[in-house]
Structure 1
Amino acid sequence: MIEVGAAIIENTAGEILIARRRSGKSQAGLWEFPGGKLEENESVESCIERELREEMNIEVRAGAWYGANEFDYGAVQIRLIAHKALYISGAIQLVDHDEFRWVRREELGAFHFAPADVPFVERLQKESA
């Protein structure tokens, strides 16, 4: 099972950062909460902070645990572990994604998310109700 960290980043306007996987990547064309695979002996918080630096050129501080989902993609099984994260600095520059958006919770349903991210989308939508 591959462990993956995901960041739930909310800006001061109450919008959440989502990103679309670029062509040539697994889950290409699907939206996700940004993050990536944990390296050996790496905490989820450190992974999120490193991945956002590497994949989006931004600094974040990982905070409270938000939840974990397991999903079987057939060839690979992942455990997606989400933490809330605070955006600190940097202008977003995409590496593994071809688009990003800041969206309100009630808008999340308009995007086609990777299956492992869907439970987080549903939880965020319920929190906005």
Structure 2
Amino acid sequence: MIEVAAAIIENELGQILIARRKKGKAQEGLWEFPGGKIENNETIEECLKRELQEEMNIEIQPYEPFGVNDHYYGETHIRLFAHKAKFLSGDIVLVDHDQCEWVYPEEIGRYEFAPADIRFVEIIIR
């Protein structure tokens, strides 16, 4: 099983940051909540801060668990931990994504998300 963290990042307008996986990556072309693999002896919060700095050049503050989703991509078992986070600072520079957008919660259902993230989309649009 691979443990992964995803950030539901909110800005001061109440928008959520989503990102599209670039060509050549697993789940290419699908949208996701940014994050990454949790390293040994790393908390979910530490992982999210590190990953968002590495992948998007931004600082965030995770503040509350949002949910957990177990998903299988074929034989690969992913356990995805989502946390709410506040956007603190930085100009977004994309590494693993080819596009990102700030969207209002009611707009999020218009995007095609990676299967592991869909559970969190459903929670947001309820």
Q: TM-score, normalised by structure 1?
A: 0.96
SS of match in other structure, 2:125:
helix
Q: Which amino acid aligns with 2:7?
A: A
Amino acid at match of 2:104: R
Aligned to 2:3: 3
Query: Which letter maps to 1:97?
Result: H
Identity of aligned residues (%): 60
After the TM superposition, which parts of structure 1 deviate over 3 Å for at least 4 consecutive aligned residues?
none
In the alignment, what sits opposite 1:64?
64
Query: How many equivalent residue pairs?
Result: 126
The letter for the 2-side match of 1:85 is: A
Give unmatched runs, 5+ long, in structure 1. Answer: none
Aligned to 1:87: 87
1:6 deviates by 0.4
Q: Which amino acid letter does the alignment assign opposite residue 77 of structure 1?
A: H
Q: Which residue of 1 aligns with 2:75?
A: 75
SS at match of 1:48: helix
In structure 2, distance between residues paired with 1:21 and 1:113: 10
| CA-based RMSD | 0.6
5 Å-filtered alignment, 1:1-129, equals 1-126=1-126
The CA distance in 2 between the partners of 1:70 and 1:111, in whole Å, is: 21
How far 1:75 moved relative to its partner?
A: 3.4
- Secondary structure at the aligned position of 2:55 is classed as helix
- The whole-number CA distance in structure 1 between the counterparts of 2:102 and 2:75 is 31
Deviation at 1:16, TM superposition (A): 0.5
- SS of alignment partner, residue 109 of structure 1: helix
